[in-house]
Amino acid sequence: MADSTSRLPGNESGDFYVDSTCIACVTCVTVAPECFSMKNSNEHSIVYKQPSNEEEYSLCIEALELCPVSAIGDDG
Ligand code: SF4
């Protein structure tokens, strides 16, 4: 389970975030490219844009569920 106290810098403020346990597998960026991107020379991903419609929200939830190390959090 993601930990909001380990939220990586660079995440846009809001409910979704990537924490420091990210292993840079790129799954979230593939699933939800409107909201996730790789950062710091592909060292990890961040939420660069919070979902702003139902489709983006659903894709963020899908990314959260697919993350192999549960590094994606949703405080909503
Ligand atoms: S799916 Fe999880 S481990 Fe993979 S890049 Fe995204 S946050 Fe990191």
At residue 75, the pLDDT reads: 96
Mutate which of 3, 16, 18 for ligand 1 pocket (most atoms within 8 A of beta carbon): 18
Q: In this structure, are residues 17 and 67 in contact, taking their beta carbons and an 8 Å threshold?
A: no
Enumerate residues 6+ apart whose C-beta is below 8 A from 26: 38, 42, 45
The pLDDT confidence band at residue 67, using thresholds 50, 70 and 90, is very high
In the numeric block, the tokens 């660069």 are attached to 48
Digit-coded pLDDT (tens) for 1-59: 999 999 999 999 999 999 999 999 999 999 999 999 999 999 999 999 999 999 999 99
How would CATH label the architecture of 4-74? 2-Layer Sandwich (3.30)
At residue 63, the pLDDT reads: 98
Mutate which of 44, 45, 48, 65 for ligand 1 pocket (most atoms within 8 A of beta carbon): 45
Nearest CA to 73 among 52, 45, 54? Answer: 45
At residue 54, the pLDDT reads: 98
At residue 49, the pLDDT reads: 98
Residue nearest to atom 6 of ligand 1 (CA): 28
Give the other-Cβ count within 10 Å of 9's Cβ. 8
